[in-house]
Amino acid sequence: GESVGLHLPTLSVQEGDNSIINCAYSNSASDYFIWYKQESGKGPQFIIDIRSNMDKRQGQRVTVLLNKTVKHLSLQIAATQPGDSAVYFCAENGNSGGGADGLTFGKGTHLIIQP
Amino acid sequence: DAGVIQSPRHEVTEMGQEVTLRCKPISGHNSLFWYRQTMMRGLELLIYFNNNVPIDDSGMPEDRFSAKMPNASFSTLKIQPSEPRDSAVYFCASTRSGGDTQYFGPGTRLTVL
């Protein structure tokens, strides 16, 4: 079946450096993508989202890039801080404008910030 | 806003017992989702409701699992009888009708011995 997956299970970066977390999706009908951050013992926390009619969206210290040609999206975190240490999930929702459908999640990437 | 509220936060039970997980969505949200998270399978959608009506329960693993949403502010996920392989963290999430961002609760960590 179609699924959303991540390339790397663990990413270690130096504090202050930029981080890039990647995600591949296989459902060509996907039109809405979300990045979540999950800290130990907590539920997933929304970071940023992007629709398929965009290829880039920026938030505070985070940027999401979408490449529909190769069905790939990435999350860039600028100037990583210790508080950025967490597992990051990409998720997709094939229903345009729909929080009315469930999300399909990737496996997650564990971001580790080295002091 | 209190966010999505789940109870209990932790549940330890013995195989064969009935387990009931509870969720209170964010006030004003019309859609509610139950997910399960395990190391092996990651985050999986179990079932979701729109306006208290179950829309898709294809993710519910077996007939031992059932979910209800008697009103807009409360939902339950029941496992009867529970088995050790049901051990996982169960999350509830909610969103506005037609909204996109799903907001997750803190989860219930279930351990079935």
Mean of the pLDDT values across residues B31-52? Answer: 92
CA distance B74 to B58: 21
Q: What pLDDT digit, counting tens, does each position of B81-103 carry?
A: 999 999 999 999 999 876 678 99
Mean pLDDT of A9-15: 93
Show which residues on chain A lie within 8 Å of chain B, measured between beta carbons. 32, 34, 36, 41-46, 49, 89, 91, 93, 97-108
pLDDT band for A102, please (50, 70, 90 cuts).
confident
Please name the member of A34, A43, A46 whose beta carbon is closest to the beta carbon of B105. Answer: A43
**Is residue B65 pLDDT above 60, yes or no?**
yes
pLDDT in tens, B68-81: 999 999 999 999 99
How many CA atoms are closer than 13 Å to the CA of B82, on its beta-carbon side? 21
Those residues whose C-beta lies under 8 Å from the C-beta of residue A92, and which sit 6 or more positions away, are A4, A25, A27, A30, A32, A33, A34, A103, A104
Which residue is associated with the tokens 């007939």?
B63
The answer to which of A26-30, A62-66, B33-37 has the lowest mean pLDDT is A26-30
The residue among B40, B95, B102 with the most chain A CBs within 10 A of its CB, best to mutate, is: B102
Q: Is A60 exposed, middle or buried (0-12, 13-18, 19+ CB in 10 A)?
A: exposed
Q: What is the pLDDT of residues A44-85, one digit of tens each?
A: 999 999 999 999 999 999 999 999 999 999 999 999 999 999
Q: In chain B, whose CA is at the least distance from the CA of A105?
A: B43
